Structure 1
Amino acid sequence: MVVMGLPWLLTLELVLHAGCFICGIIAAASLTFTQGHFAGQCILYGSVHYNTSSNSLILENSSSTSLCYFVSAISVCMAIYCISLILYWIYSSCVEDEVKRGSVLLNVSLGVCGLLLFFLLVSGCVLRIGRDSLCLSVLHNVPSISNCEEAQNKTWASPNTGNQFYTGLYSAERSVWVSFFFWVLILAVVVVQRRQAAGEDAEWSRAETEPFFHRPSRTL
């Protein structure tokens, strides 16, 4: 994505934002579809029981739905922020001859980067630990399976289907960690832009004050 009128560092940042937008949508959609297969229940940190009479899996315990909503909300908010920023700078490049971001906006961007990195780290850990806890219960209670993914093909007690539950949780977690990596790169790009802006501000300040402090040399 190369936009006329945008500095190359800002263009690179927007490309990374586009990647974060895609990852956010995938993470939120994967987790939402997984909840849908379990009648809206959040299966993170859940426990599974195997019913020998019906040869079906029963979700005994599940987490509060707010836990899954929290993870999905972080991904959705990140996606909205990214697409809004992309559209804003594309619009700015169309209406302005030269697009330049000041120190204040760069400082705000640094704050947003730090905040989103924190929430993505929390979301990634919740997804990873919650999925592992569920899989430990599956492996412990369900016979004749060697890994958690095989439980997707088992019959689940109604109203749960269990269809692609492991794939959904894995896709959501992977998307969150990819987003986290992209935001680390975005943070580095913003820091570079912040240093460039600070250097330009210092040069402008020296140029403005030089006529007042410049002393003509004495001639003998």
Structure 2
Amino acid sequence: MAWITLDVQLLVQTFLYAANIVLGLAVAVPLGITIGDFNGQCILYAHIDWNSLTFMTSNVVNCRFGIYVSVCFCVLYALGMIFYHVYLLTRNDPSIGSKMWVFPFIVVNSVVAFVTFISSCIISVGFKTFCDGFLKGREMGHIISSCADGEKFTWNADYRTHSFYTYLTVTQIATWSTLLVWVLLVIEGIIRFLRNRRQANAQATSDLKNFAASEPSA
């Protein structure tokens, strides 16, 4: 029955990669729309001039890095892994789980998880920095209950600010969710690697016993 567990594990990994494609798009698309709404500028780490009600935006790399990470790893790389796993699942080989590459993907997924962590921190810290600056408007006499109120303000006429808080909130939730999925994939890989080693050792021990028990030929 061990091969059933291995197939189920492959199926779970396939679904995790598929989930990361959806989550990756949930990071990249809203973040990209926000850049477009601010004329190609990034509001992560942006400073607000309350005297003129304008943004002093940050380097657009702060936003584009999250987009690049999501598209390259969560979408393209994950899509390639889905094709690979589907190929393995359709081979109808009971021992396919013990033959597939494991350790290289543990390394790659660990690196991706680390890069995703950096990207998530950039997004979350940048969003919080902007919101903290916005909430300082209370000191200027503005009635503000939360950062979401920024969507109601009339800022620079060239900016479309009606949904930036919603978009960035979706992006922030999605980017930390992708990190969780990458960590789960690393854990899944480690479990498979240890299981394959245990099976290989058991097979080697069995072969050695069979060899020792065999009668010498004349």
**So what's the TM-score if we normalise by structure 1?**
0.85
Report the equivalent of 2:68.
73
Instruction: Sort the Cα spacing of 1:132 and 1:151 in 2 relative to 1 into closer, same or farther, 3 A.
Output: same
Q: Deviations over 1:55-105 (max 9, x none)?
A: xx3112x22112211111111112211121112221333355446144772
**Distance of 2:162 and 2:35 partners within structure 1:** 11
TM-score (norm 2): 0.86
Q: Which amino acid aligns with 2:126?
A: G
> After the TM superposition, which residues 124-203 of structure 1 pair with which residues of structure 2 at under 5 Å, given as runs?
124-141=120-137, 143-203=142-202
Determine if the alignment matches structure 1 residue 91 to structure 2 residue 87: yes
Q: Which residue of 1 aligns with 2:58?
A: 63
**In structure 2, distance between residues paired with 1:163 and 1:99:** 54
**C-alpha distance after superposition, 1:85-139 (max 9, x if no partner):** 1122213333554461447721012112211211111111111110111011111
Root mean square deviation, CA, Å: 2.3
Quote the Cα distance in structure 2 between the aligned partners of 1:128 and 1:89: 32
Task: Tell me how far 1:19 sits from its aligned partner.
Answer: 1.1
User: Which amino acid in the other structure matches residue 8 of structure 2?
Assistant: W
Which stretch has the larger CA shift, 133-142 or 174-183?
133-142
- In the TM superposition, residue 22 of structure 1 has moved relative to its aligned partner by 0.7
Q: Which has the higher helix share?
A: 2
Unpaired segments ≥5 residues, structure 2: none
Q: CA deviation at 1:29?
A: 0.6
Unaligned runs of 5+ in 1: none
- For the Cα contact (< 8 Å) 2:24–2:175, is it kept in 1? yes
- 2:171 maps to amino acid: A
What amino acid is the match of 2:59?
S
Q: Measure, in 2, the Cα distance between the counterparts of 1:117 and 1:88.
A: 20
Instruction: Provide the rounded CA distance (Å) in 1 between the counterparts of 2:127 and 2:133.
Output: 10
CA contact (8 A) 1:37 1:163 kept: no
- 1:94–1:104 CA distance, 2 compared to 1 (3 A): closer
Is contact 1:7–1:99 with CA below 8 Å preserved after alignment?
no
Greater mean deviation of Cα atoms: 11-20 or 181-190: 181-190
Q: Which residue in the other structure is 2:49 paired with?
A: 49
Q: Give the whole-Å Cα distance in 2 for the aligned partners of 1:102 and 1:66.
A: 42
Cα deviation for residue 213 of structure 1 reads 4.1
CA–CA distance in 1 between the matches of 2:203 and 2:172? 46
Aligned equivalent of 1:32: 32
1:44 aligned partner, one-letter code: L
Aligned AA (2:155):
W
Q: Which residue of 2 aligns with 1:106?
A: 102
- Give distance in 1, aligned partners of 2:47 and 2:99: 50
In structure 2, how many angstroms separate the alpha carbons of the residues matched to 1:173 and 1:99? 40
Percent of matched pairs sharing the same residue: 24
Q: 1:208 to 1:76 in 2, by over 3 A?
A: same
Report the 3-state secondary structure (helix = DSSP H, G, I; strand = E; otherwise coil) of the residue aligned with 1:156.
coil
Distance 1:128 1:65 in 2: 15
